[in-house]
Amino acid sequence: MRLDIRRIPVVTKLKKTSFIPEMKRILFAALMPLLLLMGNTGCNHPSPTVANDSIDSLSLRVGVLPTLDCLPFYVAEEKGIFDTLGLGIRLFTYSCAMNCDTAFLRHQLDCAVSDIVKAQVWNIDNDSVRALMTTNLRLYLLTSRQARIMNTESIKEKIIAITRNSVCDMTLDNIARSVKLGSQEVNKPQINDFDLRMNMLVQNQYDGALLPEPYASMAQQRGARRVSDSDSFCKGLSLFVTHLSTLQQRRGDLELLVKAYNIAIDSINARIDKGQGHDILLALPVIGVENDTTLQLSHFTHATLPSDSSLTAARTWATGRNLIPAKKTAGQLIDSTFVKGHNNR
């Protein structure tokens, strides 16, 4: 269900540098009003999967994204796993991570899916956020059919859509660094809504984009090319976070949530073994996912904690971007109450 906008995705202006071809710069500037107009359909209000308002005060409010790493939450809801365990829960789907983050920070959500950059930034000032597990988000760099980008060396001076100050931004910097390019040598318009970012890519409105699944496969099916991915640089990009107060007050519910997550993963893997991977994707609230024939699902892993190396890499990047003061002591972020193993994929 598509609802009214809460916040228009920010589309940043490019610097007028001499290395950007004049025609591309003029075209991008001409597209600015169109991008803002299209943004009116992006970053929607959340769509709850449960309509009974009478249980709101007792239900755990969980913010999720319509991405493959969140599939276990949707399967747990669809299969009645939460109900079987006696867990009252409402899943709120956000079409972009920015609005999910905002709702979480305003305590409109008890828990949410976020990432290893933003969660560490949040915890610097008040140490009130805890991460219970990673949901193993992966990002893919795709390029449009007309961009003539066949490898990562070709991204210099190109326009690649991302979400700023996030693992998406960090991943693009890592890709650029791998071919000895500086962050400023790639132009990064901010398109927060996943669906909007994908559609603009396949319509050749910019050169490339960082996308999660299933949007990456849907874009590829419509002609985009995969060039690189986040796993080559940093794994376990996402975190399932909660407030310290929620952890203290609703420990039993959170334990059931992690248990339901793992049961859902067992169900997903069993379906994959039976060759029914495509059917599982229908649990995602993504328009057009039913037509995606290119995404081949691999087995999901049970809930794990993010690796120390991934957290350190994210903190180092965030410090270099001045998102985290260099001399600031990190607060406690990871809580291993419900999950013991680290993600060493």
Distance CA 43, CA 60 (A): 22
- Give the pLDDT confidence score for residue 27 in this predicted structure: 53
Give the global pTM.
Answer: 0.86
Yes or no: say if 194 and 96 are a contact pair by the CB < 8 Å rule: yes
Percent with pLDDT over 70 in the chain = 82
pLDDT at 33 over 70: no
Q: What is the DSSP string of 211-254?
A: EETTHHHHHHHTT-EEEEEGGGT-S--EEEEEEHHHHHH-HHHH
- Give the pLDDT confidence score for residue 292 in this predicted structure: 85
- Give the pLDDT confidence score for residue 271 in this predicted structure: 95
> Mean of the pLDDT values across residues 58-83?
97
Our CA dihedral for 76, 82, 83, 87, rounded to 10 degrees, sits at -170
**Domains recognised in the chain with CATH numbers:** 47-137+238-320 (3.40.190.10), 138-232 (3.40.190.10)
Out of 37-51, 135-149, 230-244, least confident range: 37-51
What sections of the chain are H helices per DSSP? 22-38, 71-78, 81-84, 97-105, 118-126, 167-178, 194-202, 215-221, 244-249, 251-273, 277-281, 308-320
> Mean of the pLDDT values across residues 251-268?
98
**Average pLDDT taken over every residue of the chain:** 86
pLDDT at 319 over 70: yes
pLDDT at 9 over 50: no
> Mean of the pLDDT values across residues 137-165?
93
- Give the pLDDT confidence score for residue 299 in this predicted structure: 95
Distance CA 140, CA 147 (A): 16
> Mean of the pLDDT values across residues 45-58?
55
Structure tokens at 41: 């359909």
Phi, psi angles (nearest 5°) of residue 84:
-60, -35
Please report, as a single letter, which amino acid is at residue 102: T
> Mean of the pLDDT values across residues 135-155?
92
Distance CA 224, CA 207 (A): 10
